[in-house]
Amino acid sequence: MGKSGMDAFWMPYTANRQFKKTPRIIKAAEGAYYITDDGRRIFDGLSGLWTTGAGHNRVEIRDAVAHQLGTLDYSPAFQFGHPLAFELAERLVALAPETLDHVFYTNSGSECTDTATKIARAYWRQVGQPTKTKIIGRVKGYHGASWGAISFGGIPANKKLWGQGVDSDHMGHTLIPGNEFTRGLPQSGAELADELEGIIALHDASNVAAVIVEPIAGSAGVVVPPAGYLKRMREICDKHDVLLIFDEVITAFGRIGDWFAASAFDVVPDMLNVAKQITNGAIPLGAVLIKGDIYDAFMETAGAEYNIELPHGYTYSSHPVACAAAMASLDILEQDGLIERVAALSPTFETKIHELQGSPHISDIRNYGFAAGITLEPYPGEPTRRPMEVALSCWEKGFYVRYGGDTLQLGLPFITTEAEMDSVINAIGDSL
């Protein structure tokens, strides 16, 4: 494809004018690499968009999808079911921390945000506390692009165009001076969770439904929680009867060397959102994992058995082809031992990524599992320009590295070799 014929597609979260002048067209993929329209092999340093840890074009997923398309391509999501949706739900709750024992399917992370927060607000109504409606997010949080997601998210550029959103407030983020260049979890800053106590006091607990957080904030540049911070948040939520929602759209299914951040950090939320890696990115699918007592509250208060307990869902909730892709994707994670691989190689990646400290313009490096964020010093008045320049230079060198805000982000495929780690990190260093 040349530069003509590109006008019609209004590209998402993209600098359309710049892209259409200098397009970056990916036409195929193989393992940890993309292949461009001019035949270059590009290392996929973000696993797609944190989606494709097991590597691209996995035959197991292709075959499962093809088989499903030839068996049951679609069935109505409302008032009817198909076997795979139940099987996958059982499998997800078996993997998740024990009390998360129900699954509500969506098609994306954004829909998970809306679903979990709608369930939170409706839950409090069902149990007789209808004033508990406010949702607390965090500065630097990212939960997607729906009305709920931009309301609870905390990235300024994603919020400023839209006017009034859904009732919310925000805690601060956890990037504090003194924690720069921390390897893994910062040891100081757990007390930042106490800010939640103040926000709940400000609005009164009788008005607060839930807190939604990414255990590790991804889009803001891999912001890793201080040790103990999430536990403290859990305690404060318990004390004030506020539900805790973990947005694990990036962290679930291996990215941090565990099935979930909830398991890795030993903090169990009331609801846990997943998407992306659940199908290795091959087919859109999201899911909210939910505590049994929330589900039970709806079952117990809905009246006659033929009443719909939760008037919510999507045409493609539990899409059979997506469920098939998810089953195959979970098989791959288990059979190839990819989560164990990420856990085993994370210390190596940590050592290597921190070797960039001292390179020009780097003001912070953060890492956990196979995720890393690098903050770059801004040009005066242009905080987002340098990461873009570095990432585009990496692209020229054969590496896809994500740029967002004042950060570069790496989310390596789970199959990345040590030599590939070296080469992508060297490409960043050379570009700087």
Residues interacting with ligand PLP, by CB under 6 A? 49, 108-110, 142-144, 214, 218-219, 247, 249-250, 275
Q: Which of 80, 88, 26, 24 is nearest to 52 (CA)?
A: 26
Q: In the bound complex, what is the minimum distance in angstroms from residue 248's beta carbon to ligand PLP?
A: 7
Q: In the bound complex, what is the minimum distance in angstroms from residue 12's beta carbon to ligand PLP?
A: 9
Give dist(CA 239, CA 245) in Å, integer: 16
State the residue number with the nearest CB to ligand PLP.
Answer: 109
194: left (phi over 0), alpha (psi -120 to 50) or beta: alpha
Give dist(CA 361, CA 376) in Å, integer: 5
Q: In the bound complex, what is the minimum distance in angstroms from residue 109's beta carbon to ligand PLP?
A: 2
Q: How far is CA 411 from the centre of its chain?
A: 11
- The letter for the amino acid at 422 is D
Q: In the bound complex, what is the minimum distance in angstroms from residue 293's beta carbon to ligand PLP?
A: 25
Q: In the bound complex, what is the minimum distance in angstroms from residue 165's beta carbon to ligand PLP?
A: 16
- Which CB atom, from 117 or from 126, has the smaller least distance to ligand PLP? 117
- Which CB atom, from 126 or from 280, has the smaller least distance to ligand PLP? 280
- Which CB atom, from 82 or from 138, has the smaller least distance to ligand PLP? 138
- Which CB atom, from 110 or from 416, has the smaller least distance to ligand PLP? 110
- Which CB atom, from 97 or from 109, has the smaller least distance to ligand PLP? 109
CB 144 within 8 A of CB 175: no
Tokens, residue 6:
């590109």
Task: Report CA-CA distances (Å) from 246 to 22, 44, 216.
Answer: 38, 27, 10
Q: Bridge-partner residues for 254, per DSSP?
A: none
Around Cβ 287, how many Cβ atoms within 10 Å? 27
- Which CB atom, from 154 or from 186, has the smaller least distance to ligand PLP? 154
Q: Which of 201, 123, 209, 202 is nearest to 167 (CA)?
A: 209
Around Cβ 113, how many Cβ atoms within 10 Å? 34
Tokens, residue 421:
């780690």
- Which CB atom, from 45 or from 362, has the smaller least distance to ligand PLP? 45
CB 197 within 8 A of CB 102: no
Q: Please, what sign has the CA dihedral across residues 279, 31, 368, 12? A: negative
The phi, psi pair for 151, rounded to 5°, reads -75, -45
Give dist(CA 219, CA 403) in Å, integer: 9
Give dist(CA 36, CA 31) in Å, integer: 14
Q: In the bound complex, what is the minimum distance in angstroms from residue 103's beta carbon to ligand PLP?
A: 17
Tokens, residue 221:
């540049």
Contacts of 223 (CB under 8 A, 6+ apart): 140, 173, 174, 175, 216, 217, 366, 373
Q: In the bound complex, what is the minimum distance in angstroms from residue 306's beta carbon to ligand PLP?
A: 33
- Which CB atom, from 112 or from 390, has the smaller least distance to ligand PLP? 112
Q: In the bound complex, what is the minimum distance in angstroms from residue 405's beta carbon to ligand PLP?
A: 13
- How far does the chain reach from its first CA to its final CA, in angstroms? 31
- Which CB atom, from 254 or from 397, has the smaller least distance to ligand PLP? 254
CB 276 within 8 A of CB 51: yes
Q: In the bound complex, what is the minimum distance in angstroms from residue 260's beta carbon to ligand PLP?
A: 13
Q: In the bound complex, what is the minimum distance in angstroms from residue 275's beta carbon to ligand PLP?
A: 5
- Which CB atom, from 138 or from 143, has the smaller least distance to ligand PLP? 143
Q: 178 in helix, strand or coil?
A: coil
Q: In the bound complex, what is the minimum distance in angstroms from residue 111's beta carbon to ligand PLP?
A: 7
Whose tokens are 């490409």? That residue is: 427
- Which CB atom, from 249 or from 427, has the smaller least distance to ligand PLP? 249
